[in-house]
Amino acid sequence: MSVHVAKRRLAPADIRGLKGERPIVSLTAYTTPIAKLLDPHVDFMLVGDSLGMVVYGLDSTVSVTLEMMIAHGQAVMRGSERACVVVDLPFGSYQESKEQAFHSAARVLKETGCSAVKLEGGAEMAETVDFLIQRGIPVLGHVGLMPQLINTTGGYRSLGRSDKEAEKIRRDAKAIADAGAFAIVIEGTVEPVAREITGALSVPTIGIGASPACDGQVLVVDDALGIFTDFKPRFVKRFADLAPQISAAVEAYAEEVKARTFPGQEHTFQVKTKPA
């Protein structure tokens, strides 16, 4: 009798162990079908609060709720079996206190089965990161441009151009690494600063709009596939241009429906005639 042995899913410790071995591959994922397609190719999938803009059409990530993150985390887990899955903690679900952060993170892990959570913040969140890790919750950090703070930082822009900004990002990254994060996303940070931080830290850095020297890279999957076309940040490379193909497919479908050429007989269920 054959026994099915489930594949071992990559863990946060595996991701951390890739520093210095090879570049780490990551993309965001929000749905089961996309997770199935990404799973063989990425080291970890990030269920990012970017889903607020990409999936729900919101102006920013600030309005995303914990319930939304849990629902999409569950969907991604159902579609994957190999990649490590990390779920973002949304704005307002962890900043109030360490205890609030633990309650939110514990819900995410218990209700989705994911391996870790991600939270934004630097030195001011280091105590919270340590608190979570000491209680069994792996954390992916996020420094540099932090989308949840756009209302106080003046919108989306690259950071680290001034000495003051660069020094803050360096301090933030070190504080989160020292607190025990298994890796740190560096977003929207000028290349020399991201490169310097990567060389200084013992944990992997995951760049998005940062540096090719980062230990890994992450992109919003809809950006990489050319589906989300509202805007294209400088740091995005479209590895496909699916939006025109989707539009053309829908146009062809509409034309066939109007012409009554779809569905054809081969697409319908017929009553089988009984032999006489």
Alpha-carbon distance of 181 to 186, in angstroms, equals 13
pLDDT of res. 160: 80
Alpha-carbon distance of 75 to 77, in angstroms, equals 5
Catalytic residues: 187
Cβ-based neighbour number of residue 193 at 10 Å: 23
CATH number of 12-241: 3.20.20.60
Residue 118 is labelled as binding a ligand: yes
Domain boundaries, the chain: 12-241
pLDDT of res. 232: 75
- CA 209-226-151 angle, to 5 degrees, is 45
* Cβ contact 220:50 at 8 Å: yes
Residue 49 is labelled as binding a ligand: yes
Kindly give the confidence (pLDDT) of every residue in the chain, 276 residues in length, as a single tens digit, with 9 standing for 90 and above. 555 545 799 999 999 999 999 999 999 999 999 999 999 999 999 999 999 999 999 999 999 999 999 999 999 999 999 999 999 999 999 999 999 999 999 999 999 999 999 999 999 999 999 999 999 999 999 999 998 887 666 666 788 899 999 999 999 999 999 999 999 999 999 999 999 999 999 999 999 999 999 999 999 999 999 998 777 778 899 999 999 999 999 999 999 999 999 999 999 999 988 776
pLDDT of res. 20: 97
Residue 120 is labelled as binding a ligand: yes
pLDDT of res. 37: 98
